[in-house]
Structure 1
Amino acid sequence: MLGLGTSTATADTSAALPISSYRDIAVDAAHQRVFLSDPFGGSVLVTDYTGQVVKQISGAAGAWGMALSDDSRTLYVALRDAGAIAAIDTATLQETARYDTGTGAGAYAGPTSLALAGGKIWFGYSLDTWRGALGSLDLSGAQPVVTRDQGLDTFRGSPRLAATPQDPDTLVAAESDGNYATVAVYDVSNGRADTQARRTDPGPDGCQSLQDLALTPDGRQVVIACAAAHYHQALRTTDLADDGIYSTSWSPNSVAIAPDGTIAAGVYGPSWSDVQLFPQGTSTSYADWDFPEPSEYDNTTLVTAGLAWTPDAGRIFAVTETSGSSSLTLRVLDHPRVDTTVTVQAPASSPRNQNLTLTGKLVAPVGFGTGSTVDIWRIDDPLAGEGTMIGSANVAADGTFSYTDRPKAKGNVQYTVQYYGDARHAYAYGSVTVNITSD
């Protein structure tokens, strides 16, 4: 008999963290670990995917921004209070190298943000209390090479950085000093930061106090979270023109984008929706989380830049804090299994012993990853309900598929397509009936 299957839901989990300060998060899929920087505690905290502590790496003065190498073997950490970048082996969780950035150390000197682009490690740092700049660390030669003083006269504070492996020569930087933010896009393919676009106070309502930014995987959009805005804003990287919004609420403070383009947008303060999920280019969310309040007088809020995806987009990590205390919590948000539909098309009739092609499409709020398939069942007698699985078809990134059969029986034949779902998509099926005629 043809089975229809069921779907199950998974519960979110949380774990208290033994740190009282936070600035950045990185996810290592190869070792199933989460790294959190603890600047005022001078450490990098390592947990597993459930939030349980694996190790607390000490000796990391002013650990601020982080970047994971493409092969997941090395975690780079900006040490603001040491004026350096540390390299940590993700297998042994030991520091293997430390590179002096030559910026000086401290609140208005050392590096605070990292990104990998153009084959280098880029860092944002402060020149003094009123100016910020970009620097790069090149580890490709026999000796490390540091280049500073790039992006001068653009930022009024140490800029935040964003990059994406799919567009490795694009670097985006934005200041976050509490005033009107300036966002800049650079081409770093020649080893220097060549300005491609620059804009101050971007967005339909401007951008004061930029809290976070992220690049879409294709590098075409940068999404910014500005505390004074009523939504997350998207800018086109070619010219930083307005390119849509993601409807959240007052005081956006975090954004993270999955490899398939799904956007997780977070806000600060009491809200019906602390974190919302959006398909890229769609202003309406399809899922959200409202963090529980511990009491009538205390609030649970998302910290600035407190979101990160697993590379398979199956879950989101969120760092929260409770008002009236210095306690931090790592929340593991399992991606909901979204409703999925299957449409199937075929000719109304077709001769037997001839090729018959079925086409169809899976439709869901989020895309389908490589390796997704559907099973094709044929029921030669729809009234009897007996069916035979005749094959499978690969699903393209846009959800489309096709399958060719060569039916032998005359009469009405029903084809049913089954999609069994995954961590992000619910089970779905669709059918079509074809009248098989004589040769």
Structure 2
Amino acid sequence: MRTRQFAERAALSAALSLSLLGLGTTTAAADTSTSLPISSYRDMAVDAAHQQVFLSDPFGDSVLVTDYTGQVVKQIGGEAGAWGVALSSDSRTLYVALRDAGAIAAIDTATLQETARYDTGTGAGAYAGPTSLALAGGKIWFGYSTDTWHGALGSLDLSGPQPVVTRDQGLDTFRGAPHLAATPQDPDTLVAAESDGNAASLAVYDVSTGRADAQARRVDPGPDGCASLQDLALTPDAARVVVACASPYYHQAFRTADLSDDGRYTTSHYPNSVAVAPDGTIAAGINGASSPDVYLFPQGDSTAFHTWDFPASSPYTTNTLQSGGLAWAPDGSRIFAVTEDSGSSSLSLQVLNHPQVDTTVTVRAPASSPRNQDLTLNGKLVAPVGFGTGSTVDIWRLDDPLAGEGTMIGSATVAADGTFSYTDRPRAKGAVQYTVQYYGDARHAYAYGSVTVDITSD
């Protein structure tokens, strides 16, 4: 009972301290939904530097820009067949695949003006122009169709005095323009997957030499195949690729080293979207009317820890996620989702704030320790999602558990895997209780853990 009372007082004290500092207690922000002035959608990029979201509007020949709440900032016109988008590593430039212009446009993210346009030499239109973009190996890679039955990879190199386009790579792999995926942590790995055809083709390339050197290929991957591939995303370390295929009715993962099966994420009918946060949390979406629309998974865990179901405008309509319609904010604080209402065919941007997840604290220490000697506490925070840089825990010491009051003696930094340690030098003999408090953040709930050590004579 004393321990419980101490923890309750400590939690109240922490909340009061945060309020006095003007920080307030951590509460989850409400999700929002905003109607969009576009009637088509293909791809999305999130700009953390300016807190903007870019959405391609291929049949409206535009790129729509919103803020983090979904409010429209600008609609950039004149972008013929705006399809895939990719943001530069410094967030200064948005690159847009213009399928119907056979080109790649560069848009300044500060001025929201097109600053350059590069001809890909592919021709333009549905079975020619570029449709997907990824930044890897110091180049801009694009997927395109060579005709109605074949696809290929190309690259745009802007590092020299003149832009250099290289085409016709991966010619023996794809039956349509491939989707592309890359990650900044492993910039020399490029993954491509066919977007057309009944059975998808998946390939991994090393692009460090400037060419797409195939490392692994697989047709119709997975134990149940992969029909009508809709989306793919790499884990931050590029060790795994997660794909969304209309069938089977789950999201599946593959090792990029050899494209061998590496588990599944249990979702439901018609998977169509996937996005991976910087900490590895996986958002998996489906185009199903009767199931949750978006699922959140810890990396490597097949059980979702949170779901969203988008409400429809009426009992007779549905509000469904668009193919490739998920993107994370780079800090992992929220997910952006593009949905369509079946009654009006209107598109909306859903802003889904990351839920606060349950967190536990374990603390370990020797059963006994001499007084006036170093005593090290080791512990770990455990939650479905990782802990960001700068997370800390506070350590309280209660020299007499019956007294019911304790003293905060210090803080410890939490590592990315949730571990922490703290060394104390207790002076009082007898049972000493240590309580570790974690005050939580936007993604983690408050938690505490305690351990008691018998402090003996010197």
TM-score relative to the length of structure 2: 0.94
Superposition map of 1:370-381 within 5 A: 370-381=389-400
- The answer to whether residue 238 in structure 2 is matched with residue 230 in structure 1 is no
- The answer to whether residue 384 in structure 2 is matched with residue 365 in structure 1 is yes
Aligned residues: 439
Number of the residue aligned with 1:159: 178
Q: Which amino acid aligns with 1:154?
A: T
Q: Could you report, residue by residue, the CA deviation over 1:41-62 in whole angstroms, capped at 9, with x for unpaired residues?
A: 0100000000000000111000
Separation in 1, partners of 2:84, 2:419: 40
Q: CA RMSD in A?
A: 1.0
Separation in 2, partners of 1:110, 1:429: 56
What is the Cα deviation at residue 389 of structure 1? Answer: 1.2
- The answer to whether residue 32 in structure 2 is matched with residue 13 in structure 1 is yes
Q: Is the 8 A contact 2:28 2:442 kept in 1?
A: no
Q: Could you report, residue by residue, the CA deviation over 1:141-160 in whole angstroms, capped at 9, with x for unpaired residues?
A: 01100000000121111110
The answer for unaligned runs of 5 or more in structure 2 is 1-8, 16-24
Superposition map of 1:28-427 within 5 A: 28-427=47-446
Determine helix, strand or coil for the equivalent of 1:82: coil
Separation in 2, partners of 1:289, 1:93: 32
Separation in 2, partners of 1:37, 1:385: 60
Q: Is the 8 A contact 2:268 2:288 kept in 1?
A: no
Q: Report percent identity of matched pairs.
A: 82
Q: Is the 8 A contact 2:27 2:442 kept in 1?
A: no
Separation in 2, partners of 1:248, 1:207: 15
Separation in 2, partners of 1:2, 1:106: 64
What is the Cα deviation at residue 204 of structure 1? Answer: 1.1
Q: Could you report, residue by residue, the CA deviation over 1:245-277 in whole angstroms, capped at 9, with x for unpaired residues?
A: 000011100000001100000000213210000
Separation in 2, partners of 1:53, 1:384: 58
Q: Which amino acid aligns with 2:10?
A: L
Q: Is the 8 A contact 2:26 2:442 kept in 1?
A: no
Q: Is the 8 A contact 2:76 2:112 kept in 1?
A: yes
Q: Is the 8 A contact 2:335 2:354 kept in 1?
A: yes
Q: Which amino acid aligns with 1:431?
A: S
Q: Which amino acid aligns with 1:293?
A: A
Q: Is the 8 A contact 1:62 1:81 kept in 2?
A: yes
Determine helix, strand or coil for the equivalent of 1:3: helix
Q: Is the 8 A contact 2:26 2:441 kept in 1?
A: no
Q: Which amino acid aligns with 2:364?
A: Q
Separation in 2, partners of 1:403, 1:163: 39
**Over 6 Å off, 4+ runs:** none
Determine helix, strand or coil for the equivalent of 2:63: strand
Separation in 1, partners of 2:293, 2:365: 44
What is the Cα deviation at residue 178 of structure 1? Answer: 3.6
Q: Which amino acid aligns with 2:310?
A: F
What is the Cα deviation at residue 296 of structure 1? Answer: 2.0
Determine helix, strand or coil for the equivalent of 1:227: strand
Determine helix, strand or coil for the equivalent of 2:399: strand
Deviates more, 1:367-376 or 1:103-112: 367-376
Q: Is the 8 A contact 1:2 1:386 kept in 2?
A: no
